[in-house]
Chain A
Amino acid sequence: MAIFPLSSNFEGDFVIQLVVVDDASTMDEVAATCAVHSVNRRVAPQPGKVMRVRRHSTGEVYPRDMQVKSAGLLPTETIDVIFSDI
């Protein structure tokens, strides 16, 4: 368990933001943390959609239950959080 900083690029938002998560967090938990700083602040919620995390540099969409420490991300690396049907 260790804190892990990431840069959140949230779909529909205008800016990338610093978020701090636990490296044991799942990608669903990361998406939820990122949403706190974008959804209902500058991005309208999208009911019925799930928020998925993908690596910004490659476009690789991470499994929802993958932990941060298993994703090969560098501290402060940018992730996209996108609305998805699945």
Chain B
Amino acid sequence: MSKLASNEYYDLVRTTNWTPRYVDEAELFPEMMSGARGIPAEAWETFDEPYKVTYSDYVATQREKDAGAYSVKAALERANYIDSADPGWVSTLQAHYGALAVAEFAAATAEARMARFSRAPGNRNMATFGMLDEMRHGQIQLFFPHEHTKRSRQWDWAHKAMHTNEWAAVAARHMFDDMMFTRDSVSVAIMLTFAFETGFTNMQFLGLAADAAEAGDHTFASLISSIQTDESRHAQQGGPVLKILIENGKKDEAQKMIDVIFWRAWKLFSVLTGPILDYYTPLEHRKQSFKEFMQEWIIGQFERQLNDLGLDLPWYWDEFVRALDETHHGMHMGVWFWRPTVWWNPAAGASPEEREWLESKYPGWNATFGRCWDVITENLQKGREELTLPETLPTICNMCNLPVVGTPGDGWNVKDYQLVHEGRLYHFGSEVDRWCFEQDPARYQGHMSVVDRFLAGEIQPQNLAGALLYMSLNPGEIGVDAHNYAWAGVGKQSHAAE
């Protein structure tokens, strides 16, 4: 029996905008879920995905990808790479898995929204594959760390993190919920696939894969490279949706969605990826600085994609470029100082050699962030570890749910962008965070940050022990310095946080 080439039938079989007989169009595609915005069905039918794949091709390719990643894992499992890996790299893996594995599994729901409710048949087809992609990403990123649970309970946070009130998990969930679970299918296509996946997952998966290969962690490098091949395919759903919106007079609405979620994604990556690339990855294995990765993958590529679609750079672009020298350094110091409240062991990355590297990549680092590390280092050298641990909470931004940080030392510029809305005082870490809130206050105003919950008496007892209990962080899980302060010139074993 002859078999048609896929390009001979693809367009025909995915033209599935059939005329319903038992329900009307509005019941089949409720506006709340579809988000067609009054654009007619014929216009949505012009959706033209740049990457076309059939189900049989998809399954065959995915099987090969899984076989590749799983066989690398199996081959290297007995080498016990993790046991000899730098503790900073181990922390990188634990932070990555906890922040992303379950979130990726959840992303299947967002893809499913497009698969069911998009008015564009091509979008529905691609999203079906995207949904399967995200299930794979959830499963594989839970399975790979599972072999390490015998080494430390922190590895169990690959599964546990997103089910807790740990502050970083709250921040991640707030952003993912905003982007994936509470939007119509058109918004998901733009915010999740275009702005987040096109813009940022390259950073996490390709940037980190480069460092993983350098660090000799071929299991992790092959895993995340495998994931990224899926991301780069299903991320292409946003472009055609944007094209249709722009052609139908909805450019401003599309632009605003991109502007909101791009900033939100940037803030999340500033606390997740920034510290990993510039502080946790051992110095000799760093391919590029976080800023250099951002300049290449975000400023270069994303800017070009916006241009190609006829969209503008987000209105805050200059501030975003400026913040590349600042935000993640503050986020890193916050994570390290409040290290008992995370599920990994943060690497300080502030030895003399590492500080030299930071100064070369971020001129002025020593006179700003370095000033704080000077005090911390001296405290450790003089045996005053208690002064390097927190006795209060940081003020949390009511948009990104991350600490309000800025540049310390000689360039001190820390600012809180406050707003009183309906009698409640909100705190924001930047003008853009506040702007995001102001675009849709009803969406965000009910949320309580971890500090709001503390002040409302939800965290008991009202001290660090109570906070750890609230965040489900148990002994053996709470973070300590990854290198036991060797970077500061001391060899002291520390379990004070426990």
Contacts and interface: CB of A to CB of B under 8 A. Distances in A.
Nearest to B371: A12
Contacts of A15: 330, 333-334, 337, 394-395, 403-405, 414
B366 to A, nearest CB: 14
Nearest to B368: A14
Interface string B367-379: 0010110111001
A16 B394 contact: yes
Contacts of B415: 9, 56
B412 interface: yes
B12 interface: no
Interface stretch (A23-31, A34-42, A46-54, A64-72): A34-42
A7 B427 contact: yes
Interface of B: 329-330, 333-334, 337, 369, 371-372, 374-376, 379, 387-388, 390-395, 403-409, 412, 414-416, 418, 420, 425, 427, 451, 454-455
Interface of A: 5, 7, 9, 11-19, 36-37, 40-44, 56-57, 74-78
Contacts of B334: 14-15
A18 B395 contact: yes
Given A12-B371, A14-B369, A74 B420 contact: yes
B230 to A, nearest CB: 37
A18 B451 contact: yes
A36 B414 contact: no
B425 A76 contact: yes
A16 B420 contact: no
A76 B455 CA distance: 9
Contacts of B407: 14
B425 A75 contact: yes
A13 B212 CA distance: 33
Nearest to B403: A15
Nearest to A39: B375
A13 B391 contact: no
A57 B330 CA distance: 22
Given A16-B405, A41-B375, A43-B371, 18 more contacts: A13-B408, A13-B414, A14-B329, A14-B333, A14-B369, A14-B414, A15-B334, A17-B393, A19-B392, A40-B375, A41-B388, A42-B337, A42-B372, A44-B371, A56-B415, A56-B418, A74-B425, A78-B395
Closest 10 pairs (CB-CB, A-B): A14-B408, A42-B372, A16-B395, A78-B416, A7-B395, A16-B404, A18-B393, A74-B425, A14-B330, A15-B405
A12 B371 CA distance: 8
Nearest to A56: B416
A49 to B, nearest CB: 15
Contact of A42 (B406, B408, B425): B408
Given A14-B334, A15-B330, A17-B395, A76 B427 contact: yes
Contacts of B392: 17-19, 37
A55 to B, nearest CB: 11
Given A40-B387, A42-B337, A17 B375 contact: no
A4 B221 CA distance: 50
B372 A43 contact: yes
B395 A12 contact: no
Given A18-B395, A43-B372, A76-B425, A12 B388 contact: no
A26 to B, nearest CB: 20
B430 to A, nearest CB: 12
24 contacts: A5-B455, A7-B395, A9-B414, A14-B407, A14-B414, A15-B334, A15-B337, A16-B395, A16-B403, A16-B404, A18-B393, A18-B394, A18-B451, A18-B455, A37-B391, A40-B387, A41-B387, A42-B372, A44-B374, A56-B415, A56-B416, A56-B418, A78-B395, A78-B418
Contacts of A16: 394-395, 403-405, 414, 416, 427
Contacts of B412: 11-13
Contacts of B337: 15, 41-42
Contacts of B371: 12, 43-44
Contact of A77 (B390, B425, B454): B425
A24 to B, nearest CB: 19
